């Protein structure tokens, strides 16, 4: 059974719209993260959360807003979508914030037209 | 400047061959970790190997092993006896601690491996 679930797997959106990427982890971890991989770029860190609190934000734009309704959920809301937002978005988790070993979900591939 | 560098973006090998994927990194931290991940075609990102700078011995996991050269800030992933299922994208990643650094993984560009049966 998958331990980190990301939904949907593929997502197509139009410029200017808003989407929410879902992430749930069933590893019992206390820290969760978002990373993004754009075309021809390495995975880039976006956010880290610990016990539902924001620990680190490396995203310049306020259009990206994580939402944590439960400790094992960390969704990513993206507003006013742009074609440059097209990327695969990975959710990850670790037992606690500050631990190196992170486990990744399968990603959501977002295409903005 | 890139902190984690993987030289090859793509490579292909014959089944049964041995492959070494190189990765170099930059850090001023003392306590850092290095990882190799594999991104499967299914989308799953699998953790293959973890290397800490305090560990001298070569880390191994099945057919995967690493050659870690701390002074050169280099870590290579070695895959012995390649199989078609080894095809995928391999990422090298550097983790630096929160104190004095960012508690996050920094990834290299990744290398796409195709194993030819």
pLDDT at B31: 84
Of B33, B43, B102, the CB nearest to A100: B33
How many angstroms separate the first and last alpha carbons of chain A? 33
Q: Chain A contacts of B93, Cβ < 8 Å?
A: 43
Q: Coil, helix or strand for A68? A: coil
Q: Chain B contacts of A56, Cβ < 8 Å?
A: 102-104
Please state, in angstroms and rounded to a whole number, the distance separating the CA atoms of residues B70 and A76: 37
- pLDDT tens, B3-62? 999 988 899 999 999 999 999 999 988 888 999 999 887 778 888 888 887 765 455 678
B45 touches chain A (CB under 8 A): yes
Please state, in angstroms and rounded to a whole number, the distance separating the CA atoms of residues A1 and B19: 31
Please state, in angstroms and rounded to a whole number, the distance separating the CA atoms of residues B58 and B66: 6
The verdict on a CB contact (< 8 Å) between A35 and B105 is yes
- pLDDT tens, A51-74? 999 988 888 799 999 999 998 999
CB pairs under 8 A between A and B: 61
- pLDDT tens, B53-93? 776 545 567 888 899 998 999 999 999 999 999 999 999 99
């Amino acid at each position: 059974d998958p331990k980190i679930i990301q939904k949907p797997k593929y997502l197509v959106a139009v410029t200017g719209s808003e989407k929410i990427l879902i992430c749930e982890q069933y590893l019992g971890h206390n820290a969760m993260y978002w990373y993004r991989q754009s075309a021809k770029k390495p995975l880039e860190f976006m956010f880290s959360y610990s016990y539902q609190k924001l620990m680190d934000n490396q995203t310049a734009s306020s259009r990206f807003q994580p939402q944590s309704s439960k400790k094992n959920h960390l969704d990513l809301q993206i507003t006013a979508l742009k074609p440059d937002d097209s990327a695969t978005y990975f959710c990850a988790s670790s037992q606690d914030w500050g631990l190196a070993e992170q486990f990744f979900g399968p990603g959501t591939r977002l295409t903005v037209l | 400047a890139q902190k984690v560098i993987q030289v090859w973006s793509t490579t292909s090998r014959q089944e049964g061959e041995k492959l070494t994927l190189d990765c170099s990194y930059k850090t001023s931290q003392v306590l850092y970790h290095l990882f190799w991940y594999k991104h499967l075609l299914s989308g799953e990102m699998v953790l293959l190997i973890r290397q800490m700078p305090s560990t001298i011995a070569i880390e191994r996991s099945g057919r995967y092993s690493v050659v870690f050269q701390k002074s050169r800030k280099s870590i290579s992933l070695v895959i012995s006896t390649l199989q078609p299922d080894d095809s995928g994208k391999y990422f090298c990643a550097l983790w630096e601690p929160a104190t004095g650094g960012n508690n996050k993984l920094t990834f290299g560009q990744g290398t796409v491996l195709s194993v030819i049966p």
